[in-house]
Amino acid sequence: MAPVLSGSPPPDDRRALPIGVFDSGVGGLTVLHELLVSLPREDFLYLGDSARLPYGTRAPHELRAFAVETGEELLARGAKLLVVACNSATATALEHLRRHVAATDRETDVIGVVGPESNLAVAATRSGRIGLLATPATVTSGAYERAVQGADALTRLTSVACPDLAAIIEEDAPVTRRVVETVRGYCGPLIDARVDTVILGCTHYPLVRPMLQRILGPDVRLITSGAAMVRRVQHALSVRDLVATRPGEGHYAFLTTGDAARFRATGTRFLQLPIEEVEHVDLTTRAAA
């Protein structure tokens, strides 16, 4: 895995630069997994802001500040595209980050997970009844409701806030009857609403997809961030003529604001691919500068 050096001058050909991906922790690795599989020639640089998770209970002004700090770290390391792989950050801070990047005269696209997921859910539903499982910050923002209604005004979205589900998943503790009943309680309103499509509005949730599918029923389509993001990223790279042209596989590397060893151990389960090295970064230093 090639090292990523802070402050390295970008190559003349921007197509050789990495795609920057960030999340509040390891959850966004489920998105990175899909991108690595579908875009194998691209380089990726992932930043997990583990020191400040969970994002799902943070105030909007905090999420906007965090998004700018993480985005700036990736841009400083040469990212040619920014992927906000955190649903809470996308719902609350995506437009703020886009305006910040544009104000610095950098032609770098910033892509979030809400729009692609919502469009995919609208295309998948047969009844027009869609469910959303997400963090409190994401639900409160109303971003998914606006995106779904924007794609099809006749659809109906039933949203359920899941304040502790991401933390339960990240702990990697044994699945107990209590965990199952907690998840069953979150799914109850969606079953009552007779939804046929459910958006997993947090990057952690695909890790318990089998449990969710069993509770919701085999006929309910589950929409994940990773699957929805691949086509959007491919389009952005193509439009900007940034598709990597190298032969063979690209490289992927990792940064975290938290404990590097813990990130590596937990992250391997989320990514389903080897994680060899993780570099610790301090975003508070960048913010002060």
| Whole-angstrom distance, CA of residue 84 vs CA of residue 74 | 11
| Beta partners for residue 280, in sequence order | 256
202 is catalytic: yes
What b-and-e string marks burial along 65-80, b requiring 16 or more CB atoms within 10 Å of the CB?
A: bbbbbbbbbbbebbbb
Task: Show the tokens assigned to 79.
Answer: 């990212």
Catalytic residue among 202, 216, 253, 283: 202
| Whole-angstrom distance, CA of residue 57 vs CA of residue 141 | 12
Catalytic residue among 21, 67, 83, 86: 86
Task: Show the tokens assigned to 161.
Answer: 């806030």
Helix, strand, or coil here: 196?
coil
What b-and-e string marks burial along 217-233, b requiring 16 or more CB atoms within 10 Å of the CB?
A: eeebbbbbbbbbbbebb
162 is catalytic: no
Listed residue (278, 251, 243) closest to 263, CA to CA: 278
Look at phi and psi of residue 8 and say left if phi exceeds 0, alpha if psi is from -120 to 50, else beta.
beta
In this structure, the strands spanning 197-201 and 129-134 are parallel
**Residue 71 is inside which H or E element, if any?**
helix 60-76
Catalytic positions are 86, 202
